[in-house]
Amino acid sequence: MKFGIFGGSFNPVHLGHLLVSEDIREKLKLDKIIFVPSFNPPHKKNLLPFHQRYKMLKMAIENNRHLAISDIEKRRCGKSFTVDTLRELKKSYPRVQLYFVMGIDQYIELATWKEPEKLFRYARIVVISRPGFRAQKFKDQRPIFLDVIKIDIASAQIRKRIRQNLSVRYMLPESVWHYIIKNKLYQP
């Protein structure tokens, strides 16, 4: 069995996340992609509460049997460090090959992460393409560099458009869009 681990703040989850996850799953022949929303990420501020981001993500993936969600970072509490999450996931799935997915923008900053060299012990690292970034090697490790569907949607862009009272309807799964409207999220 092979599982992809797709972490992030998902603030909010959007169609780019879903399209890329499906593309990765097919290209690497993964059995499942597990989304891991961060609980308390050290590099992010001003996030919606975890339960709202988790709920939107759960709604977004509910009709795809190849996608799952984990609340492992909430259960652990404290700062959400990827190395700790991967260590726990490897214990939970000892017979599964894990593939940790990160954007090339994150990979370039990998040296600033907690114990970055240990990430390669727990999972194969999959570095996905992003417009405007070039690949760089990290020490002697060999990640999988993967070109994926190019979708130029970002959560920050969605939040900004909502603050400006502009439509984001076709940037999000419809259920997530309705949830944001109903709960008046991301408005000033």
Is the pTM here over 0.85, yes or no? yes
Contact 21, 33 (CB under 8 A): yes
What's the chain's average pLDDT? Answer: 92
Q: Cα–Cα distance between 136 and 86 in angstroms, integer?
A: 22
Distance CA 88, CA 56 (A): 24
The pLDDT assigned to 164 comes to 96
Report domain extents, the chain: 2-152
Give percent of the chain above pLDDT 90. 77
Distance CA 106, CA 111 (A): 10
pLDDT tens digits for range 55-114: 999 999 999 999 999 999 999 878 889 999 999 999 999 999 999 999 888 888 888 999
Cis, bond preceding 12 (omega within 30 deg of 0) = yes
Helices (H), the chain: 15-28, 50-61, 72-76, 82-92, 104-108, 119-122, 155-163, 174-183
CATH architecture of the domain formed by 2-152: 3-Layer(aba) Sandwich (3.40)
- What is the rounded CA–CA span in Å between residue 96 and residue 110? 24
| pLDDT for the residue numbered 135 | 57
